[in-house]
Amino acid sequence: MQFLMFILMLSPQAAIVLVVLIAVIFGDNVWHVWVPWLCGIFVGGITHFFFTQTVQALLYASNTMFVAFAVDKATGYVDTSGNKLYAQIAEQISEQQQKQQELANGVVAIKNKKRCCC
């Protein structure tokens, strides 16, 4: 039974459909031993849907913020409201740009270095 539950958690849609079909077909004639397993499968599927949607919403929100910061940076907008989050993200972006520039300069310097053939 545990193996079946593991397989059904790989496909939450199929798990929910199976639990609903068992409930419709058997009704009140389901063995009492099956009830906790079926409840676990159903709640697991619903939880999967909930967390998948929540994660997608958070990812879209963070992507939107980064695009907004990039647009502000490209247009030269400077925030004067004193927003700490905006200041911290702008600082992190500038640090990453400096690191990428230093890395690019280091790679160019290594390529331009003459090799000795002694």
Number of domains in the chain: 2
Residue 97 lies in a domain: yes
* Cβ atoms of residues 15 and 44 within 8 Å: yes
- What's the CA gap between 41 and 21, in Å, rounded? 13
CA–CA distance, 48 with 80 (Å, rounded to integer): 42
- The amino acid at residue 52 is T
Handedness of CA 89, 93, 96, 98 (dihedral sign): negative
Q: Which domain range does residue 97 map to?
A: 78-112
Q: Which two tokens stand for residue 79?
A: 């925030």
pLDDT, one tens digit per residue, over 92-108 is 888 888 888 888 887 65
Task: Note the pLDDT tens digit of each residue in 5-35.
Answer: 777 778 888 889 988 998 899 888 888 888 8
Co-location of 84 and 35 in the same domain: no
How much is the pTM? 0.58
Report residue 71 as tokens. Answer: 């647009």
117 in a structural domain? no
